[in-house]
């Protein structure tokens, strides 16, 4: 389960499109952050995805994103053209195909590798969906599959894409969010050729009006309380910004626990709306296991950071990463068993330590991270300035080295602090 948000440039404080997502998965499913270079591929080449092998394209773009350890694709990510994509599970009346196909995370990565804009990535995903279908385990290696929704953004526009089997519909978005249900109504702008006909043949739509996607396709057997309150909450928090959305606005949304703010207050039951918070801490939909905040500037001639966190964002910290530099190995490590040199497992341990007394411990952690965040912000501006100057002087290699060294320092210090904070919580030394 997941929640994604977007504010296009006209709705942000600095005129830069902002994208954000929380990825909610199995509690112990490591979700490292990986980076892949651009590449050219020979005619006839293929690419092995999570369950199926498909034809490769002639050129793939530089990408990075959070990837559950056992899958080919991304839960969310960005590419060198300033495109960001995230996916969400959605529930349709149509059964998921039994034959293995592409899963939503595969489609996120393939869309980023092959799309130079949000619209182009949408067309890539739609074509692959119609050709190969979506099927096979996606919740876990031995779990079930699901239908997918996507939020796609670039510096100029954003799109909501929602699917059922090999059918799909999409509309543009400006200041919006998506969650784990089909939410497109009759406002969709483009869709698959059989979108309307299939629904009518199945008896799901017989109105004379334009097809309402959610009314026709949404599975009524999945309780609305799981995702509808989260979608309302996300849209409400975006609206409060009054067309002046900042990165900090989206950071607060990803850490949101209703009246608790960025501090999780346990005690609600699954029958209550406040049980399903945007920063998830429950086993019904799965806890938040990775998050991403991405400014998508039109001018990418200077380094532009993407901000990532591991485990629940309320207990951790967002780290800046750059496509123009090599990310540290610790970010890309993380398998089915705990690893001491994995950033994901490091922050998962901190989350677990905080969970013993979340109201008290999360407040301690938010305060403890404050000086580190300020230090990181100051240092990154200096590094970005130096790297930008090197790039403009024609020394792209030196620029990449500066960014790589900064990411390595930030990651190393964040992991050291996370370990020390976990020990502090375990020892109840909260002075």
> Which residues are identified as catalytic?
2
Query: What DSSP element (H or E) covers 215?
Result: helix 213-217
Among residues 79, 84, 86, 87, the alpha carbon closest in space to that of 113 is found at: 79
> Nearest 5°: phi and psi at 141?
-55, -30
Among residues 67, 106, 70, 48, the alpha carbon closest in space to that of 336 is found at: 70
Among residues 161, 175, 174, the alpha carbon closest in space to that of 115 is found at: 161
Q: Mention every residue, 6+ apart, whose C-beta is less than 8 A from residue 122.
A: 111, 115, 150, 152, 159, 161, 170
Q: What is d(CA 25, CA 288) in angstroms, rounded to the nearest whole number?
A: 6
Q: What is d(CA 317, CA 369) in angstroms, rounded to the nearest whole number?
A: 7
Instruction: Write out the two tokens for 300.
Output: 């990418």
CA distances from 412 to 29, 374, 406, 407 (A): 22, 16, 10, 8
Instruction: Write out the two tokens for 315.
Output: 């207990």
């Amino acid at each position: 389960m997941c929640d994604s948000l977007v504010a296009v440039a006209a709705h942000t404080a600095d005129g830069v499109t902002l994208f954000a997502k929380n990825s909610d998965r199995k509690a112990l499913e490591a979700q490292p952050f990986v980076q892949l270079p651009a590449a050219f591929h020979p005619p006839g080449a293929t690419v092995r995805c999570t369950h199926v092998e498909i034809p490769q394209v002639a050129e793939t773009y530089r990408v990075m994103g959070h990837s559950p350890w056992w899958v080919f694709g991304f839960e969310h990510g960005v590419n060198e053209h300033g495109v960001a994509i995230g996916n969400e599970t959605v529930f349709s009346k149509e059964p998921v195909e039994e034959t293995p196909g592409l899963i939503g995370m595969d489609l996120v990565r393939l869309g980023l590798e092959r799309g130079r804009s949000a619209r182009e990535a949408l067309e890539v995903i739609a074509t692959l969906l119609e050709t190969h279908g979506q099927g096979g385990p996606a919740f876990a290696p031995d779990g079930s599959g699901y239908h997918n929704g996507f939020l796609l953004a670039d510096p100029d526009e954003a799109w909501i894409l929602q699917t059922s089997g090999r059918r799909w519909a999409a509309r543009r978005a400006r200041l919006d969010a998506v969650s784990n249900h089909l939410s497109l109504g009759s406002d969709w702008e483009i869709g698959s050729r059989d979108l309307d006909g299939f629904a009518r043949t199945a008896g799901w739509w017989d109105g004379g009006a334009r097809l309402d996607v959610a009314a026709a396709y949404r599975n009524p057997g999945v309780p609305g309380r799981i995702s509808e309150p989260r979608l309302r909450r996300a849209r409400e928090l975006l609206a409060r910004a009054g067309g002046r959305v900042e990165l900090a606005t989206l950071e607060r949304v990803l850490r949101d626990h209703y009246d608790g703010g960025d501090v999780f207050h346990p005690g609600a039951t699954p029958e209550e709306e406040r049980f399903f918070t945007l920063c998830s801490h429950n086993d019904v939909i799965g806890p938040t296991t990775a998050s991403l905040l991405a400014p998508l500037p039109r001018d990418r001639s200077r380094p532009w950071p993407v901000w990532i966190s591991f485990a629940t964002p309320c207990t951790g910290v967002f780290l800046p990463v750059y496509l123009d530099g090599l990310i540290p190995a610790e970010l890309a490590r993380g398998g089915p068993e705990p690893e001491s040199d994995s950033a994901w497992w490091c922050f998962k341990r901190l989350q677990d330590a905080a969970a013993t007394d979340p109201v008290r411990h999360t407040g301690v952690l938010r305060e403890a991270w404050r000086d580190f965040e300020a230090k990181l912000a100051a240092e990154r501006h200096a590094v970005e300035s130096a790297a930008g100057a090197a790039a403009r002087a024609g020394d792209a290699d030196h620029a990449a080295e500066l960014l790589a060294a900064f990411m390595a320092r930030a990651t190393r210090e964040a992991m050291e602090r996370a370990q020390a904070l976990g020990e502090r919580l375990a020892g109840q030394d909260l002075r």
